[in-house]
With several copies, the nearest count.
Chain A
């Protein structure tokens, strides 16, 4: 679910921009560090592959079909850092060229899909890796979609987009269906790829299940917490909205511009620190 501009209230998009920018910088550094040179064209081509694979229709039931979203597939094939980076690149292109998701909302979309979605896929894949490969990959696909969609819904609610209980449950139901579909499609795609060349799917190294479980639980808490907090009728939503609406437009514009300035300041400092560390 790509959120366009105009949906999120200023504090929400500004906060998520501020959070996502350094996170992407960190992810880029990681992706650069733990990969060889040949990964640059690989990551680019894999991004184009996901774009194109989304055009393939997977029939499910009479008259309906779904398509691959791809976050979990990329995570399984490339590892989490590289997958995040590729998805961020796709989101930037979608926002600017394909009118799919907003520019100011880029932070939110990157957070939901490229960061949280990939984290969910990664953790799920690790957590259930020794139960069964298929279960792990199914969970990775399903949870990545569910996480992204729930976060987006929560952000819309916090921003004051009104939704009645019925609509909310209906959307959650839809998310669940697309999550199950993504899980099934990811499993089928990974199987097809493995049959062509098993070496393409990097096996998951065994890690501490406890750590993965705790991280997973934290992620679920964040997602569910966001949803509950934002759906509560007189909760955060009203608070935020009143807070925002009572402030003058000048202050809000300033807040937005300051938010952008902060993002750049952070990135700039990050870059400085990095280069200092490198030259040291």
Chain B
């Protein structure tokens, strides 16, 4: 079992002085899925933005054996696929197909290959009918699928999802869930939804004010921190 993420002593302070991460140690094995829990503002999104070097804090980050540094940034970004919370921010190209082909083109594929790959991935997430549509005409669930397709088209080894189910209705959630379960990548899932975490991950990590204050079996963590409501 190889380590795909290995992080030690990660700290990050926003320019306005907020200490968002305050010494995080974290690891992820290949093929494993982990849930990130924590209160609003505890630093989960900030942490996730470090995984592919969008933010650069102190501490050491190793992804698939490579140390994150200026020289390895591009390679690491192609290995870590981040699906952001807001699909509108992630779908910025004029059509769905172009949007999904954006990543492969940046990886240096020829336009034909990139489009072929985009089509394959879109079929995989069940969006084969929407190649030429503009992203703003899609429903929330469709947008989320296209956003995931755009990330999958980069063929990442690690999939990072920041609150993937917000705004989705229960049937769409179930579909998304089964899609995610069918993907073989290692996953980091940020969520407030205990059901989603239980269904998708086995291990959980609990953030509190920029530190990890608990980790272990997902059910045990949910119980320990009363991370459920009814």
Contact = CB atoms under 8 A, between A and B. Distances in A.
A/B touching: CB–CB < 8 A: yes
Interface of A: 41, 192, 195-196
Contacts of B94: 192, 195
A41 B134 CA distance: 17
A250 to B, nearest CB: 41
A195 B92 contact: no
A41 B136 contact: no
Nearest to B137: A196
Contacts of A192: 94
B136 A196 contact: yes
B134 A196 contact: yes
Secondary structure call for the B interface: loop
A192 B92 CA distance: 10
Interface of B: 92, 94, 134, 136
6 contacts: A41-B92, A192-B94, A195-B94, A195-B134, A196-B134, A196-B136
A118 B158 CA distance: 46
A192 B94 CA distance: 8
Contacts of A195: 94, 134
A195 B136 CA distance: 10
Contacts of B136: 196
A192 B134 CA distance: 12
Nearest 4 pairs of A and B residues by beta carbon: A196-B136, A195-B94, A41-B92, A196-B134
A41 B102 CA distance: 15
Contacts of A41: 92
Contacts of A196: 134, 136
B86 to A, nearest CB: 13
A41 B92 CA distance: 9
A195 B92 CA distance: 12
Contacts of B92: 41
A59 B89 CA distance: 20
B117 to A, nearest CB: 24
Contacts of B134: 195-196
B72 to A, nearest CB: 19
A195 B135 CA distance: 12
Nearest to B15: A199
Nearest to A195: B94
A196 B94 CA distance: 8
Nearest to A44: B92
A41 B136 CA distance: 16
B87 to A, nearest CB: 15
B160 to A, nearest CB: 21
A41 B94 CA distance: 13
B184 to A, nearest CB: 32
A196 B136 CA distance: 7
Nearest to B94: A195
A195 B94 CA distance: 8
A185 to B, nearest CB: 16
A116 to B, nearest CB: 31
A204 B134 CA distance: 27
A41 B91 CA distance: 12
Nearest to B89: A41
A49 B202 CA distance: 42
Nearest to A199: B15
B135 to A, nearest CB: 10
A196 B135 CA distance: 10
A121 B113 CA distance: 43
A187 to B, nearest CB: 16
B157 to A, nearest CB: 25
Nearest to A40: B92
A196 B88 CA distance: 13
B138 to A, nearest CB: 13
A185 B165 CA distance: 36
A196 B92 CA distance: 11
Nearest to A41: B92
Nearest to B92: A41
A24 B184 CA distance: 49
B35 to A, nearest CB: 30
A196 B134 CA distance: 8
B115 to A, nearest CB: 20
B127 to A, nearest CB: 20
B146 to A, nearest CB: 16
A41 B93 CA distance: 11
